[in-house]
Amino acid sequence: MTKVAGIIGLPVAHSLSPIFQGAAFRHCGLDVRYEAWETPAEALAGRVVSLRDPRYLGANVTIPYKQAVIPLLDELGGQSARVGAVNTIVNRQGRLFGFNTDGPGFVASLRREAHFDPAGAAVLLLGAGGAARGIAFALVEAHVRSLSIANRTPNRATSLAAGVASNGVSVRAVAGGESLDRYDLIVDCTSAGMHGGGGEADVPCDLSTASPGALVADIVYVPEETPLLRAARAIGLKTLPGLPMLIYQGALAFELWTGASAPVEVMFDAAREALAQRAATFSGEGAR
């Protein structure tokens, strides 16, 4: 019997997950079909209930349902309970387990793609939304030395800092505009670069005071070079774009569903080819 997995969200037509997850299942010789499930709010409960059927391995969950699915599940695993968000559902004999692979996927991308070990690092996190929450908990678990959180709405940064606070790690909310020279890693979890603008307003912080050895990461993967990453490269800072986080969080989901090692390079290749095709299509449309 062909197994099925998919992604639940609104919208999901743009998602790369069907492309790179499908490539992974084919590469591993697994009879699994991965689908995109555009799900209105009123259909969410029914969609999640359907995952209990033996045909389904589970699902990825994206905006806006990472919190809304939690009451519909049987158990939470990993960091998902503390984070308060689920991006992966696993069907285990009709019981639904929720996990959050966003944060661990980001940490994996740091280690494997940027060759950066977060242990002992001083980190500035820009943003306090759902993605920032998962990354904040994962960085604390990875034993960063300190974690500073900045957000346009200061009380959200304060609330996240209080929730993430852990013994042995200094976690605090900070105001924008402070010097960045104390940080080893700067992570943009805002949507500032999502549309590829190049103006100063699209850069969420002034990098002029950053340490020359700092790594600047952005979780946006389209465009690959966001305004923040362009600004960082212009002054010689190391950068990490958002695609690796997307792939590694997906690889962790793949392993939760199948018990098999994810073919990460196959997933990267499929995603990059899809992005290149989309860019070529967009360029052609612009030319016309």
User: What domains lie within the chain, and their CATH numbers?
Assistant: 3-100 (3.40.50.10860), 103-243 (3.40.50.720)
What whole-number distance in Å separates Cα of residue 91 and Cα of residue 97? 7
User: What count of Cα atoms within 13 Å lies in the side-chain half-sphere of residue 46?
Assistant: 7
pLDDT at 202: 59
What whole-number distance in Å separates Cα of residue 219 and Cα of residue 122? 18
The catalytic site residues sit at: 66
Average pLDDT over residues 231-240: 96
Quickly state the pLDDT bin for 56 (edges 50, 70, 90).
Answer: very high
Q: How many Cβ atoms sit within 10 Å of the Cβ of residue 197?
A: 14
Instruction: Name the β-bridge partners of 38.
Output: 9
Average pLDDT over residues 84-89: 94
Distinct helix (H) and strand (E) counts, the chain:
9, 12
pLDDT over 80 (residue 194)? no
pLDDT over 80 (residue 220)? yes
Average pLDDT over residues 47-67: 96
User: Are 108 and 248 in contact, with CB atoms under 8 Å apart?
Assistant: yes
What whole-number distance in Å separates Cα of residue 18 and Cα of residue 59? 11
